[in-house]
Amino acid sequence: MPRDKAVPPSERPDSLNFSGCTERLREFTAARNWERFHDPKNLSMALAAEAGELLEIFQWLTPEQAEAVRDSTLDLDLVRDELADILIYAFRMADVLGIHLSQSVNEKITKNEVRYPADVSRGSALKYSRREE
C-alpha cells in the first residue's frame, strides 16, 4: 500500500466498529470488576503510558530505520499491539466520560479541515497557529 494514500472504506479489509469495541471493553472490564480502576485520571495515565511504549519502539532510530519497521514482522507486531492498547484506553476513557467517540473524531476532522485548508497546508508541517496568513 502506498505510504501516504488513504484507503477508501470499500477497499479496507476491516473497519473499526466504535460501539462494538466500547461494548466489548465494557464487558471485559465488568467481568474483572475493574470499573473502579477506570476513572479518567487512571485511564489518561494508562493511555499516556501506552503512547510512551509506542515511542520507545522508535526511540533512537534514524528516519530510515523507522520506515523499515513496516518490513519487520516482529517490530510491526509490537507497533500493532501498542496502537491497540492506545485505542483500548481511548475507548474506555470516552465511554467513562460519556463521549461519543466516532462523532468526536468526525468533528475534529472537520475542525482540522478548517484549520488546515488543502490549498494552504499542502506540503507544510507548520501548525495552523504558526502559519502566516
Domain count, the chain: 1
Domain that holds residue 73: 18-115
Q: What is the distance between the alpha carbons of residues 80 and 69, in angstroms, rounded to a whole number?
A: 11
Identify the pLDDT of residue 128. 82
Tell me, yes or no, whether 128 lies in a domain.
no
Low-confidence ranges of the chain (pLDDT < 70): 1-14, 133
Model pLDDT, residue 17: 87
Q: Write down the pLDDT at residue 52.
A: 98
For residue 13, tell me if it sits in a domain. Answer: no
In a domain, 40, yes or no: yes
Please report whether residue 22 resides in a domain. Answer: yes
Asked if residues 92 and 21 have their Cβ atoms less than 8 Å apart, the reply is no
b/e code 51-62 from CB counts within 10 Å (16+ = b): eeebeeeeeeee
pLDDT at 88: 97
126 in any annotated domain: no
Read off the C-alpha cell for 57: 519502539
The CATH number covering residue 58 comes to 1.10.287.1080
pLDDT of residue 48: 98
